[in-house]
Structure 1
Amino acid sequence: MPESQALLADDFPYPPQLGKLAGNRREVIMAHTSVSTPLGVIEGFFGRPWSWSARESYASFMAQHGYDFYIYAPKSDAILRRRWQEDWTAAQWSQLLQLRSRYQQAGVKFGVGLSPYELYRQPSADSRVALTRKIESLNRLEPDILCLLFDDMRGDLPELAQRQVELVQTAANTTSASRIVFCPTYYSFDPILEKVFGARPADYWKTLAQGLDSAIDIFWTGPKVCSEHYPEAHLEQVNSLLGRRPFLWDNYPVNDSQKLCQQLRLQAFSKDRAHLEGHLAGHAVNPMNQPYLSQIPLSTLPQAYREGDGYQTEAAFIQACQRLCEPALAERLIEDRPLLQDTGLDALTESQRLHLKNRYQPFADSSVSAQELLNWLSGHYAFDPACLTE
Structure 2
Amino acid sequence: MSNHPPLGIIEGFYGPLWSWHERRQVVQLLAPHGYRNYWYAPKADAFLRRRWSEPHPDSVARELTGFARFCHEQGVRFGIGLSPFEIFNNFDAAAKTALKNKLAAFDDLGITDLAILFDDMKSATPDLAARQAEIIHWVAEQSGAGQLAVCPSYYSDDPVLDRVFGQRPEHYLESLGRALAPSVQVFWTGEEVCSREISPGHLQRIAQALGRKPVLWDNYPVNDGDRMSRHLHLRGFTGRPAANSQHLSGHAINPALQPLLTTIPAITLAQSYQQGTNYQYMKAFRQAAEEVLGADLACQLSADLLVLQDTGLQRISEDRHRALAECYGRFDHPAAGEIVKWLAGFYQVSDEMVQTQ
Please classify the TM superposition score into its range, dividing by the shorter chain length: over 0.9
**How many Å apart are 1:85 and its aligned residue?**
0.9
Give the counterpart letter for 1:55 in structure 2. R
Matched, 1:198 2:166: yes
Hey, what does 2:351 align to over in structure 1?
385
Is the partner of 1:176 in helix, strand or coil? coil
| Cα drift, residue 126 of structure 1 | 4.2
Query: 1:171 & 1:374 partners in 2: Cα distance?
Result: 43
Task: Supply the distance in 2 between the matched residues of 1:201 and 1:128 (Cα, whole angstroms).
Answer: 25
Q: Is the 8 A contact 1:115 1:149 kept in 2?
A: yes
Of 375-384 and 110-119, the range deviating more from structure 2: 375-384
Q: Structure 1, residues 142-181: CA drift from partner, whole Å, max 9, x if none? A: 2111100011100242121111011010111121111111
Alignment of 1:134-153 (within 5 A): 134-153=102-121
1:70 partnered with 2:38: yes
**How many angstroms apart in 2 are the aligned matches of 1:241 and 1:329?**
46
Q: Does 1:371 align with 2:337?
A: yes
Q: Does 1:39 align with 2:7?
A: yes
Q: Equivalent of 1:81, from 26, 31, 49? A: 49
The residue matched to 2:148 in structure 1 has which SS?
A: strand
Determine if the alignment matches structure 1 residue 189 to structure 2 residue 189. no
- Determine the structure 2 residue equivalent to 1:214: 182
Percent of aligned pairs with the same amino acid: 41
Measure how far apart 1:35 and its partner are: 2.8
Gaps of 5+ in 1: 1-32
Aligned equivalent of 1:105, options 73, 79, 95: 73
Equivalent pair of 2:199/2:239 in contact (CA under 8 Å): no
Aligned-pair RMSD on alpha carbons?
A: 1.4
What amino acid is the match of 1:92?
A: V
**2:293 equivalent in structure 1:** 325
Q: State the alpha-carbon separation in 1 of the partners of residues 123 and 216 from structure 2.
A: 21
Question: How many angstroms apart in 1 are the aligned matches of 2:140 and 2:218?
Answer: 24
Distance, in Å, in 2 between the alignment partners of 1:264 and 1:273 is 23
User: Once the two structures are superposed, what CA deviation does each residue of 1:101-145 show, in whole Å capped at 9, x if it has no partner?
Assistant: 111111111111011000011144443343223212211122111
| Paired residues for 1:262-281 under 5 Å | 262-270=230-238, 272-281=240-249
Q: 1:50 to 1:123 in 2, by over 3 A?
A: closer
**Residue 271 of structure 1: CA displacement?**
5.2
**What is the identity, as a one-letter code, of the residue corresponding to 1:174?**
Q
Q: Which residue number in structure 1 is paired with residue 199 of structure 2?
A: 231
Map 1:291-302 to 2 at 5 A: 291-302=259-270
CA distance in 1, matches of 2:320, 2:125: 49
**Corresponding pairs, count:** 356
Runs of 4+ in 1 over 6 A off after TM superposition: none
Give me the TM-score of the superposition, normalised by structure 2: 0.96
Asked if 1:334 corresponds to 2:302, the answer is yes
C-alpha distance in 2 between matches for 1:367 and 1:145:
33
Pairwise CA distance, 1:182: 0.3
The equivalent residue for 1:120 is 88
Pairwise CA distance, 1:290: 0.6
SS at match of 1:276: helix
Q: Provide, for residues 18-58 of structure 1, a one-character-per-residue CA deviation record: whole Å limited to 9, x for no partner.
A: xxxxxxxxxxxxxxx43341100011000111011101222
User: What is the TM-score normalised by the length of structure 1?
Assistant: 0.88
CA distance in 1: counterparts of 2:251 and 2:113, whole angstroms: 14
Aligned to 1:180: 148
The residue that corresponds to 1:157 in the other structure is 125
The answer for unaligned runs of 5 or more in structure 2 is: none
Is the contact between residue 30 and residue 263 of structure 2 (CA under 8 Å) also seen in structure 1?
no
Q: How far, CA to CA, are the matches of 2:169 and 2:98 in structure 1?
A: 25
Q: In 1, distance between residues paired with 2:291 and 2:4?
A: 25
What displacement does 1:385 show?
Answer: 2.4
Aligned counterpart, 1:132: 100
Is 1:285 the equivalent of 2:253? yes
